Amino acid sequence: MKAVVIFSVLVIVFVSLAGCTSTPTGGDQTEGALHTHYEYTERWSLGLGCYERVTGYVYNTGAIPVEDVRLTFNLVNTGSGTIRDSRSVYVGSIGPGNTVNYETVLDGECTQQYRVNFSFWK
């Protein structure tokens, strides 16, 4: 009986922690003809533990294509200022007026607070 109670409590804990654990935070950034909007949300899963899910889009407001666009995201610990994880998302060429969606995951720790920093690389 004791094992059933412990198992039930563990199932309830894992189910309640699964999925989104914070509200989305976002930002916008422009560099030249490129503009991006991104949002990140702290999440938890049994396989990944705590992580930040980053989604967004980048679009070309100019009249000519922009080649070899790369977006870099850093997961920064708000207490210490250190970078916990970093991801680079290769977008490629973006034609005039075109939009490209992207998504990536940054690995964090459940006991820390983070923010996501963003930069363009062309």
Note the pLDDT tens digit of each residue in 79-111. Answer: 999 999 999 999 999 999 999 999 999 999 888
Q: Which residues pair with 51 in a beta bridge?
A: 43, 107
CA 44/CA 66 separation, integer angstroms: 36
CA 116/CA 121 separation, integer angstroms: 16
The domain containing residue 44 runs over which residues? 20-121
Residue 15 lies in a domain: no
Instruction: Record the tokens describing residue 83, joined without a space.
Output: 């970078």
CATH of the domain at 78: 2.60.40.1620
Number of separate domains in the chain: 1
Average pLDDT, the chain: 86
Secondary structure of residue 9 in the 3-state scheme: helix
- Decide if pLDDT at 23 tops 90: no
Rg for the chain, CA atoms, rounded: 18
Average pLDDT over residues 112-119: 90
Instruction: Record the tokens describing residue 104, joined without a space.
Output: 């990536």
**How many angstroms from the chain centroid is the CA of residue 90?**
14
Does the reported pTM lie above 0.85?
Answer: no
The residue behind tokens 């679009």 is 59
Which is higher by pLDDT, 63 or 6? 63
pLDDT class of 19 with cuts at 50, 70, 90: very low
Out of 6-15, 38-47, 89-98, the most confident range is 89-98
Q: Are 96 and 63 in contact (CB under 8 A)?
A: yes
